[in-house]
C-alpha cells in the first residue's frame, strides 16, 4: 500500500474573467521509505500541488490518501490537527522563529499527545546540530538553520515529509548535505518525502523524479 497517494487532482484559479487550470487530473503514488522529486518551471503548479498534498489547500476534484485514509474528505476544521500529527514541512527559507533557540524550535511544536514522537535532542544530534541547541537563528549558519528545520519536520514522527525548495538558500555542497540528511531520515524511519525543487544536482539522491507540466506529473529518469 502506498503511504501517499494522490488521485486525479485538479485545481483552477480565476484570473479576472479567465480560468487558469493549474492541475489537471494529477496523480502520484509514493511508498514507505521513498523520496521523490518534482521538477517544473515557475508557474507550473508545484506549490499548489504541495499545498494540496499537505492539506493547506483544497482541490476542485480528486482525492488525497495518507496511509490508506482519504484525508481530503476530512472537514477543514480538522486539517490543522491532522497536519501536525501526520505531515512535516520543510521550507526553502527555514522559517525558524527568531526568538526561540534550536531546542525550543522543536519542543514548542512537538505534539505532547503523540506517543510515537521522536526525541528532539536525538534528532538534533543525528543531524549534527546538537551543539546549536541553545543557539538562536541569528547565531547559526544557513546550513545549521536548515538542519534544525529538518529536525522540526520529523519531531512529531509524521508519515509524510513535504519539502519546498529545501536547497534554494544554500550553496551546492550544503544543499546536497541537507537533502542527504532528509533521505537518510526517510530511509531510517520508513517515511515518505516529496521534494519540490529546481536543483537538478540533487536528483541522484531521489528514488524517483517527476516533471510537472500541463498540470500532470510524468516520471523521468534521474540517471
Its pTM stands at 0.87
Residue 81 CB neighbours (<10 A): 11
CA dist 153 and 60 (Å) reads 28
The cell numbers describing 193, all together, are 518525502
What count of residues does the chain have? 223
pLDDT tens for each residue of 26-44: 999 999 999 999 998 888 8
**What whole-number percentage of the chain has pLDDT above 70?**
95
Report the pLDDT averaged over residues 48-54. 93
* pLDDT at residue 113 is higher than 70: no
Q: Tell me the pLDDT band of 1, cut-offs 50, 70 and 90.
A: low
Domain residue spans of the chain: 32-45+75-220
Q: Tell me the pLDDT band of 115, cut-offs 50, 70 and 90.
A: very low
Pick the CATH number of 32-45+75-220 from 3.30.565.10, 3.40.50.12780, 3.40.50.300, 3.20.20.60: 3.40.50.300
Amino acid at each position: 500500500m502506498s503511504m501517499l497517494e494522490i488521485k486525479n487532482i485538479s485545481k483552477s484559479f480565476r484570473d479576472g474573467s479567465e480560468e487558469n487550470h493549474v492541475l489537471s487530473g494529477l496523480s502520484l503514488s509514493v511508498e514507505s521509505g521513498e523520496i521523490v522529486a518534482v521538477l517544473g518551471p515557475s508557474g507550473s503548479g508545484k506549490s499548489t500541488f504541495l499545498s494540496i498534498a499537505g492539506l493547506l489547500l483544497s482541490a476542485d476534484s480528486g482525492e488525497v490518501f495518507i496511509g490508506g485514509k482519504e484525508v481530503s474528505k476530512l472537514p477543514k476544521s480538522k486539517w490543522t490537527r491532522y497536519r501536525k500529527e501526520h505531515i512535516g514541512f520543510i521550507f526553502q527559507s527555514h522559517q525558524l522563529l527568531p526568538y526561540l533557540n534550536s531546542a525550543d524550535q522543536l519542543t514548542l511544536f512537538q505534539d505532547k499527545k503523540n506517543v510515537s514522537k521522536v526525541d528532539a535532542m536525538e534528532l538534533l544530534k543525528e543531524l549534527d546540530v546538537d551543539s546549536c541547541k541553545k543557539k538562536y537563528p541569528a547565531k547559526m549558519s544557513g546550513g545549521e538553520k536548515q538542519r534544525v528545520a529538518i529536525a522540526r519536520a520529523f519531531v512529531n514522527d509524521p508519515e509524510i515529509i513535504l519539502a519546498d525548495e529545501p536547497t534554494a538558500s544554500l550553496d551546492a555542497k550544503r544543499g546536497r548535505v541537507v537533502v542527504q540528511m532528509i533521505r537518510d531520515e526517510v530511509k531510517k524511519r520508513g517515511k515518505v518525502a516529496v521534494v519540490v525543487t529546481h536543483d537538478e544536482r540533487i536528483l541522484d539522491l531521489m528514488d524517483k523524479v517527476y516533471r510537472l507540466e500541463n498540470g500532470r506529473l510524468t516520471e523521468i529518469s534521474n540517471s
